[in-house]
Amino acid sequence: MTDTVVIAEISKGKVSPTTNELISAANILGTDCTLVIPCTDSSLADQASNISGVAKIIAAKSSVFTNYDASGWAQALDSVAPQGIIVTAASAQSKDLAARIAARRNVSVVQDVISIDGTTLSTPIYSGKAIENVAINGNVVVSIRPNVFPGVSNDGSCDIQVIDASGDLSTAVKELVERASTRLDVSEANIIISGGRGMGSPDNFSHLEEIADTLGAAVGASRAAVDTWDDIPHSMQVGQTGKTVNPNLYIAVGISGAIQHLAGMRSSKYIVAINKDADAPIFQYADYGIVSTWEEALPVLSSALSNMLS
Ligand SMILES: Cc1cc2nc3c(=O)[nH]c(=O)nc-3n(C[C@H](O)[C@H](O)[C@H](O)COP(=O)(O)OP(=O)(O)OC[C@H]3O[C@@H](n4cnc5c(N)ncnc54)[C@H](O)[C@@H]3O)c2cc1C
């Protein structure tokens, strides 16, 4: 079987638990998994030293990893990652990286994989309306949808090899100015509460934030909300042209359930919809539906959750 190389998913300066899921997928795809951790300080790799299911851990150290830049990251990672099937997360950034690494190595890329059966990989297409089965042969780059594969445990032990990945890089991002936000990103959350145009105004998203704070959830939005209100950033958009999410619980508030929105969230484990229109398409996909205005439903939900969790 082919060797595998997992590129660790880094989030907010930490090795994300998604990495454990990537290793589990890599161990189905091949053998002798090497975990490559992009970092500016090799101590970041210490967080992964007890991860199980890996034969080797490489801390790829370079200043290029300070800010994301597809070209620089792909060049640096390509220089240290051994040959084999490369596995990344199917986050927006890592799908971009997967394609760049595949181009550098002149191999195929299979994006957003949700199941693996031998050498056949399944990936949703046409906004999730169909599943494509792709047969792979030899080295490829594969991105794995988060929250689909079970993660390996953290009871292993593996030495860490630090490799300088600085090399002769052609591009590097000098500075990244982020919009100040302390909120959890939708792509990292296990629980998401999203608002649509039915919220009426961006100020009303504060009601969703209140519930998100109680549940430890992220706040998302439909494209109509993002397009209509400048205060709702594109980074919150869930759907075909936004982020694909796969949380345990997705609460859709004032969202009609257009096919393009469903494309990004319908694989959520449980879907709860709050909509005043009983015929809204979202109810066809919801596990629990509340036919009501959010003005009526959210205060009740909020106080029930507070009582439950206090
Ligand atoms: C190429 C393309 C890509 C797209 N990509 C995306 C994407 O990535 N993500 C995305 O979301 N959309 C996407 N869209 C847009 C999509 O087609 C819909 O227009 C959009 O999802 C609608 O958003 P919405 O449900 O918030 O708004 P609406 O369709 O206007 O629905 C609002 C809902 O709120 C309900 N409502 C109103 N008032 C209340 C109230 N007080 N209480 C409770 N419910 C209330 C209404 O009954 C209605 O169902 C895309 C479209 C195209 C063409």
Is 289 near ligand 1, meaning CB less than 6 Å away? Answer: no
Model pLDDT for residues 78-135, shown as the tens digit of each residue:
999 999 999 999 998 999 999 999 999 999 999 999 999 999 999 999 878 899 999 9
Local confidence band at 260 (pLDDT 50, 70, 90 cut-offs): very high
Model pLDDT for residues 2-23, shown as the tens digit of each residue:
899 999 999 888 999 999 999 9
Is 124 near ligand 1, meaning CB less than 6 Å away? Answer: no
**How many angstroms is it from 219 CA to the middle of ligand 1?**
16
Q: Residue 148: which domain range?
A: 3-164
Q: Which of 227, 234, 259, 260 to mutate to test the pocket of ligand 1 (most atoms within 8 A of CB)?
A: 260
What does pTM read for this prediction? Answer: 0.77
Local confidence band at 180 (pLDDT 50, 70, 90 cut-offs): low
Is 277 near ligand 1, meaning CB less than 6 Å away? Answer: yes
Q: Is the same domain home to 125 and 191?
A: no
Q: Is the same domain home to 8 and 107?
A: yes
Is 59 near ligand 1, meaning CB less than 6 Å away? Answer: no
Sequence-distant (6+) residues with CB within 8 A of 263 are: 127, 128, 239, 240, 244
**How many angstroms is it from 41 CA to the middle of ligand 1?**
43
Residue nearest to ligand 1 atom 36, measured at CA: 198
Q: Is the same domain home to 219 and 159?
A: no
150 has pLDDT over 90:
yes
Q: Is the same domain home to 147 and 218?
A: no
Closest ligand 1 atom to 197 CA: 26
Q: Is the same domain home to 258 and 156?
A: no
Is 79 near ligand 1, meaning CB less than 6 Å away? Answer: no
176 has pLDDT over 80:
no
Q: Is the same domain home to 71 and 215?
A: no
* CATH number of the domain residue 229 falls in: 3.40.50.1220
Q: Is the same domain home to 216 and 145?
A: no
Q: Is the same domain home to 29 and 141?
A: yes
280 has pLDDT over 70:
yes
Model pLDDT for residues 33-42, shown as the tens digit of each residue:
999 999 999 9
Q: Is the same domain home to 122 and 8?
A: yes
The total number of structural domains that make up the chain? 2
Query: Of 130, 164, 198, which residue is a domain's last?
Result: 164
Is 222 near ligand 1, meaning CB less than 6 Å away? Answer: yes
In the chain, how long is the greatest CA-to-CA distance?
Answer: 60
One-letter amino acid identity for 34? T
Q: Is the same domain home to 8 and 112?
A: yes
